[in-house]
Amino acid sequence: MKYRNIIIAISVLILIVGAFFLGRWTEALGKKAVVKKQVVKAARKKAPVPVSTVKARRPAKVAIVMDDFGYNMNNTGALFAIGEPVTLSILPNLRRSRDVAESARQHGYEVILHLPLESNRNDVKEEAGTLKPGASEKAVVGQLAKDIGSVPGLVGVSNHMGSKATEDRLLMSEIFSYLKKKNLYFLDSLTSGKSVCGEVAAEIGLRFAKRDIFLDNDEDIGAIKKQMVELKRLALKRGRAIAICHDRKKTVAALADTMPGMAKDGIEFVSLSELVR
């Protein structure tokens, strides 16, 4: 009986000690699991994002084309002082057409011909040598050659006026065929919603672009700046945009005030040729 009680006592003691150490071991495992979970969680938070998943923000490209140069050089100095690319669109055979082209090229600016084409409007003054539907191909080619020769170093052509002419498939086909031979591109100013220029350019295989926005239909500086804000919105949305404005003192002043800030906001100003397809 005595030994039996001793054995029972020892067994109870062993159970108590075992339970104690089992509890401590279980607790240690639990703490270890918690710590491991915390370490993994922290590591995930601190782990760098794989380079392949990071998309660098590309600047939106904007080309500004300034029309109607050639009458004088009054605004060229202020324009060049801005220090951002602008493409100068020069009317042919005017007193200062050649001078503007040469000065622009010397300053690193792109030059295109602003080709006079017939308008549907009767209240606008036509430039000498304006091309019109119905003219013979010989007359069209002869006038084009003369116009191109008056603007040295040009790389493309845009339409001056031309709401009637750009609706005429035959005339634009003759013009575009000649431009392709001369390795020149065409910018459609979109003075008509019925323009066939895009279709004809695609058929002929001519490099082509079209205007997205006019900046200075309202010549007030505040209004021009609002259009620059709209230009930035369009460019950031689409990744690119083409704007047209005119050789005017207020327009140059508005560009000088807005272009440097837009460049800091993710806009990259480029020559028009970079956006021609």
Same domain, 115 and 49: no
Same domain, 103 and 186: yes
Same domain, 45 and 72: no
Same domain, 79 and 146: yes
Same domain, 67 and 43: no
Radius of gyration from C-alpha coordinates of the chain: 36
Sign of CA dihedral 169, 65, 140, 207: negative
Same domain, 44 and 67: no
Domain that holds residue 69: 60-275
pTM score of the predicted model: 0.80
Same domain, 156 and 141: yes
Same domain, 14 and 73: no
Total number of domains in the chain: 2
pLDDT (tens place) for every residue of the chain, 277 residues total: 444 555 555 554 555 445 444 455 445 444 444 434 443 344 444 444 443 333 445 789 999 999 999 999 999 999 999 999 999 999 999 999 999 999 999 999 999 999 999 999 988 899 999 999 999 999 999 999 999 999 999 999 999 999 999 999 999 999 999 999 999 999 999 999 999 999 999 999 999 999 999 999 999 999 999 999 999 999 999 999 999 999 999 999 999 999 999 988 999 999 999 999 9
Same domain, 42 and 90: no
Same domain, 202 and 266: yes
CATH number assigned to the domain comprising residue 199: 3.20.20.370
